[in-house]
Amino acid sequence: MAPFYAVVAGVGAGTGRSVALKFAKTYPVALLARKPESYESIVAEIQEAGGQAVGISTDLTDPQSVEAAFAVIQKTEGFVGAGLAAAVYNVSGGFGGRKPFLETSLEDLDGSLSANPRGLYIFAKSTLPLLLKAVPTSPNPPTLIVTGATASTRGSARFAPFAAGKFAKRGLVQSLAREFHPQGVHVAHAIIDAVIDIPRTRHYNVNDGAPDGKLSPDAIADEYWHLHQQHRSGFTQEIDLRPYVEKF
């Protein structure tokens, strides 16, 4: 019997994978991503380690798709009847990359808004009722954690669509924290101010190639778990996270 589970939206080779593995040490974990190849190997990894996991192909920008995913979760062995203890929104959408504003397109902006405030909004609408329901029984305060970026608090040149999306997401999280903290749900935002150390970035020359100069996704996962462990007497609403050698 597993009375509580966690859900991670937006998994792949980096943060999402590490977070899923970390939370899977305690909870069955549902992994949501657009394509099976994003979650299949992680589900296998969790199961091999003796944990429970299910991956569900989900369009996180589509309310019906997200609703359908939760319907599937609630019928999955190991999740049936379980409460939602933790929900992590880790989606990062395409925004067209760094380029001069006049070379960006409305599609770049829409991509950023879709993956950031819009996707989070949809995810929050599905998860907050479940998290609220778990308040009286969950061992740790039920938690909604959202991954942000440097651009969450700083609109850099040539990053206009990206900054719009990340700022929006942060505003949304703050508002949810102020509304749901008093109801017992912990809502936190993490400003990931770094290049994350994943296969795709392995060859990037970051911080002059200093050892540990990229942010380990396992370190992010440790933080998310720690946020989830916080007692309601002391909630952290926002953390920043960066390698020791990162300029900020």
**Contact pick of 6, 9, 164, 195 for a copy of itself (by CB under 8 A):** 164
Q: Closest approach of Cβ 206 to a copy of itself, in Å?
A: 11
Distances (CA, A) of 131 to 144, 160, 241: 8, 33, 25
Closest distance of CB 212 from a copy of itself, Å: 4
Q: Are 227 and 218 in contact (CB under 8 A)?
A: no
Compute the radius of gyration of the chain from its Cα atoms: 17
Q: Which of residues 65-94 bind a copy of itself (CB under 8 A)?
A: none
Interface positions, 171-230, toward a copy of itself (CB under 8 A):
171-182, 184, 186, 194, 197, 212, 214-216, 219-220, 222-223, 226, 230
Among 45, 59, 67, 240, binds a copy of itself (CB under 8 A): 240
Q: Rounded distance, CA 155 to CA 143, Å?
A: 28
191 close to 148: Cβ distance less than 8 angstroms: yes
| 112 sits in which H/E element | helix 106-113
- 50 belongs to the binding site for a copy of itself (CB under 8 A): no
The answer to whether 37 contacts a copy of itself (rule: CB under 8 A) is no
Closest residue by Cα to residue 2 from 77, 73, 70, 82: 82
Among 81, 102, 136, 202, contact with a copy of itself (rule: CB under 8 A): 102
Minimal distance in Å, beta carbon 43 to a copy of itself? 25
User: Which one of 4-12, 14-22, 82-90, 124-132 is the stretch in contact with a copy of itself (CB under 8 A)?
Assistant: 124-132
DSSP 17-77: HHHHHHHTTTS-EEEEESSHHHHHHHHHHHHHTT--EEEEE--TT-HHHHHHHHHHHHHST
Please state the closest distance from residue 237 (CB atom) to a copy of itself, in A: 5
Which tokens in the block code for residue 175?
Answer: 């508002």
106 binds a copy of itself (CB under 8 A): yes
- Residue from 19, 160, 195, 198 in contact with a copy of itself (CB under 8 A): 160
> In the set 7, 30, 113, 195, which binds a copy of itself (CB under 8 A)?
113
Binding a copy of itself (rule: CB under 8 A), the pick from 11, 31, 124, 130 is: 124
Shortest distance in whole angstroms from residue 202 CB to a copy of itself? 14
Q: Are 97 and 111 in contact (CB under 8 A)?
A: no
